[in-house]
Amino acid sequence: MELAITSTSMKLRDRAPVVFRGEDNWCFEQIRSIGYDGVELHIHDSSQLDRKQLKEELDQFGLSLTSIGTGSAYGKDRVFLSSEDADVRQAAIERIKGHILTASDYPHAVVIIGLIKGKVSDCESRESYFANLIPALRECAEEAGKYQVYLGLEVINRYESDVINTVKEGLEFLEMVGSPWLQLHLDTYHMNIEESDIKKSAEPKATSLYQLSTKIFLMVSLNAAYFLISLLINIFVYYAFLINTEKYYFPEYFHYFLTL
């Protein structure tokens, strides 16, 4: 189990859920100094990245890259996987493929599919949204499989996304795409808004859609009630690859719950 925290060298809005901001080398030094194992790095475009330098800087501080945040492609460039414009869709696919290549240098790095999937309101209809998104994600997942990199489908609350808002909807969508390289990325912030029973939604036996091969990538946010953190960590510890945080707190907080 790895504990990671968010970081970026991009300029983002103040309320964006990224803790450390600035030059990567400075951020990584701070992250290691407070005891984290890894970094969820938000990258705008991997084709503009010096991958060798990134690896050297992470190695310098004994950190791993646990996941790549991809949402700025949508927020800054309006590049997304469900676009009605084939050129925009292809640009989004290439953006994800670049992130897959970046992630392939690390044992368990996940490429997050969140806002880059787009919204239904960006398309002519719900039907066209899925007709555009599913083939695009299948192409991305096929590329991910070549490098044995997982894509993490982020389940986002209704106030930020108009589609795939709950764990159940996320699992149903995984079935539609049908690739073992696309799995779930869950965030307690969104779950606290959308799930009527977070414990039940997270348990493997809660739905027949869960399979033994299902992998969960967990983002913990203190916006969720304190007791939920303990609850979720004790559920996910058995089948989660990593726990990321987008709030500033010390690793001892997690270790306390992991020893309960």
pLDDT per position in the chain (260 positions), as tens?
A: 678 888 999 998 887 888 899 999 999 999 999 888 899 999 999 999 999 999 999 999 999 999 999 999 999 999 999 999 999 999 999 999 999 999 999 988 999 999 999 999 999 999 999 999 999 999 999 999 999 999 999 999 999 999 999 989 998 999 999 999 998 888 878 888 898 887 777 665 444 333 333 455 555 554 444 444 544 544 444 344 456 666 555 555 454 444 44
pLDDT in the model for residue 106: 95
pLDDT in the model for residue 244: 65
pLDDT in the model for residue 216: 52
* H, E, C per residue of 49-109: CCHHHHHHHHHHCCCEEEEEECCHHHHHHCCCCCCCCHHHHHHHHHHHHHHHHHHCCCCCC
Report how far residue 31's alpha carbon sits from residue 61's, in angstroms, rounded to the nearest whole number. Answer: 9
* CA neighbor of 41 nearest in space, from 5, 95, 2: 5
pLDDT in the model for residue 206: 45
How confident is the model over 76-122, as pLDDT tens digits? 999 999 999 999 999 999 999 999 999 999 988 999 999 999 999 99
Phi and psi torsions of 160, nearest 5°: -115, -20
CA angle (47 as vertex; 41, 53 as ends), nearest 5: 60
pLDDT in the model for residue 108: 85
**Whole-model pTM?**
0.86
pLDDT in the model for residue 79: 98
- The answer to whether 101 and 60 are in contact (CB under 8 A) is no
Question: Which DSSP letter does residue 135 get?
Answer: H
pLDDT in the model for residue 250: 52
